[in-house]
Structure 1
């Protein structure tokens, strides 16, 4: 079965198929040329970044009109303080998905599509930068009719990728840390002239994860509990699991657990319930996307738990019988962003009570 990339917007999940290798490691370090570009001039420009295949894009100034492919890149820009530059997005975040003021700001962004932005609408958007959360479609497969690099250039749009998602899903190694997410934040900070804020965000993430690692890092692999991310919103007929190229694998690993499907190469994969039974996880995260209110979220979590407890195929699982459920929103676990670090801490506190403060 081919690997699949998942994107989110509100309570809907979209599964994308047929992505081919983009040749970018999940934990790759920044290109030295990217790190040093622009340091010789005031304001930090020009700035150069590379895509999944190593192709360089140079910015002589900060972009003023940005379109994001989905809520992942939109959220990063909002957290960097560059939200006023965003003129449109695809796969918008559902109301209440982001915290406080970020949610208010996100709801003001023009929605170009509830899913993949149509080619003509994207090219005619007036953007000078498109941030792509998906894998490189120019190498085959893809999501319908997407623009070519020549068409982006003709429209005056620079096209860059999030390496923590577009590249990671097709990398040759498992995603076990948040370095790719941190690199994306740093890169977007340099592009949008918000490097100081990017440094604050990355420093905060590193501090949170380091504290967890100090508390649980010495636990032997064999002693770490197994962990199943139950993607309730993806459907219950055939479970969709997070594999070792998905950022959730890094979150689970850093929290001191073992992803039950870490032996699956790719980002997502559909399996059978017999496969889940064979794994018999110690803990299950109820993967529910934000419904927009605390009451609606509780109802969805209750439904997910009730399904596991009543279904003949799952009610005998070790985690179900022990009541080992974690109620953590899907977005914070499976979407590359700042809150991945907070989710590491949240999971660790549940799995290692008393060890993680």
Structure 2
């Protein structure tokens, strides 16, 4: 396969964002990714690869970054590289990001409320486009995206948050957050913020270790079953979170059993009869952030009401017993530091008294 290379004669090949291949789990964060990410030196050149193994070389940190959505934007802000971001698509609603980064996010130019139009993206002046989507099951609304040749002609290096973008092509179920941690480590190396990346990953690992110590040893048969209800994907035919998606790892780490753990891939439309047959103990009301706490609560209420009044779902065990979790979709299905917080929140709800 022809390499995608811009400058630099030699480099360390990093994992995470662009780790060679699409394997999930612990293998994703192994090898050279950890070593390079832990140096804290920000040394370049740095080489990363995409879902297919095509290589991109950074001879220096990027200076003008455009992000596809709020997930990539949040990571860059947390890493301290927010001053390099010149635009974003799918902007986060006001107040939906943590307070320490929300004000910074408001200053970033919005290139589109949804997918950035191709001509606007290519003419943005960016030298890096951080893409969260790639092979995600995003439906027909992704618009006319640039080809790799068009990115090259515009002088834009195109990289992905691989833990999300390459989910559908993984070879095995994703049961931990090492792919997310590797994304953070690699993005830190690319932007010259490796020391901060190490801090962020360390904080995630500390939270995950505490949950693992509390509930990790729970036998499979004793783990409550869990259904991620993607309310915004539509109610006529539910969208299941499958075992290659980050949400599956989040659910598993929290000491629960994803009712669609037998589904290979990232997302898949199923029937309500499939959900009824699995009769989950808990249901996450996975609505997308609406821009304010009041708007979020209204959406959560609507999702719950639908489940409680629909003839196909009102008899589910979780619905009868009122076992709902109000956690926004993005914190569960999109790569980020907040994934560890979601693990902790789910574990506390499902295993009261065990998780501090």
Q: Is the 8 A contact 1:132 1:160 kept in 2?
A: yes
Equivalent pairs, count: 333
Cα root mean square deviation, aligned: 2.3
8 Å Cα contact 2:229/2:285 also seen in 1: yes
1:337 alignment partner in structure 2: 336
1:214-262 deviation line (CA, Å, top 9, x unaligned) = 0011111111110001112222222112111111101000000001111
Q: Which moved more, 1:144-153 or 1:87-96?
A: 144-153
8 Å Cα contact 2:38-2:194 kept in structure 1: no
2: CA distance between counterparts of 1:142 and 1:290? 19
Helix, strand or coil at the partner of 1:58:
strand
1:113 counterpart SS class: coil
| TM alignment of 1:204-219, pairs within 5 A | 204-219=203-218
2:132 paired with 1:152:
no
Q: Equivalents in 1 of 2:62, 2:306: separation in Å?
A: 47
CA spacing shift, 1:47–1:199, aligned 2, 3 Å: same
- What is the CA deviation profile of residues 101-123 of structure 1, one whole-angstrom value per residue up to 9, with x for unaligned ones? 31221122111122222222111
Q: Does 1:55 align with 2:54?
A: yes
What are the Cα deviations for residues 112-160 of structure 1, in whole angstroms up to 9, with x where unaligned?
12222222211111011111112269xxx99443222222222111111
Q: Is the 8 A contact 1:48 1:57 kept in 2?
A: yes
Partner of residue 18, structure 1: none
Aligned to 1:77: 76
Q: Distance in 2 between matches of 1:347 and 1:151?
A: 43
String of CA shifts for 1:162-196, please: whole Å, max 9, x gaps: 11011222211111110010000000001111111
Summarize the Cα distance change of 1:313–1:199 in structure 2 as closer, same or farther, 3 Å threshold. Answer: same
**Which stretch shows the higher mean deviation, 100-109 or 29-38?**
29-38
Check 1:42–1:286 CA distance in 2 against 1; reply closer, same or farther (3 A cut). closer
> Does the CA contact (< 8 Å) of 2:318 and 2:324 recur in 1?
yes
Name the residue aligned to 1:132: 131
**Aligned residues of 2:242 and 2:267 also touching (Cα < 8 A):** yes
Q: How does 1:1-357 map to 2 (within 5 A)?
A: 23-27=21-25, 28-30=27-29, 32=31, 43-135=42-134, 143-357=142-356
1:37/1:45 contact within 8 Å kept: no
Q: Secondary structure at the match of 2:166?
A: helix
Q: TM-score, normalised by structure 2?
A: 0.88
CA offsets per residue over residues 291-341 of structure 1, 9 Å max, x none?
222222222222221221111111111111111111112221111100000
- Structure 1 range deviating more: 98-107 or 291-300: 291-300
Aligned partners of 1:181 and 1:336 also within 8 Å: yes
Shift of 1:43: 4.8
CA distance in 1, matches of 2:141, 2:295: 34
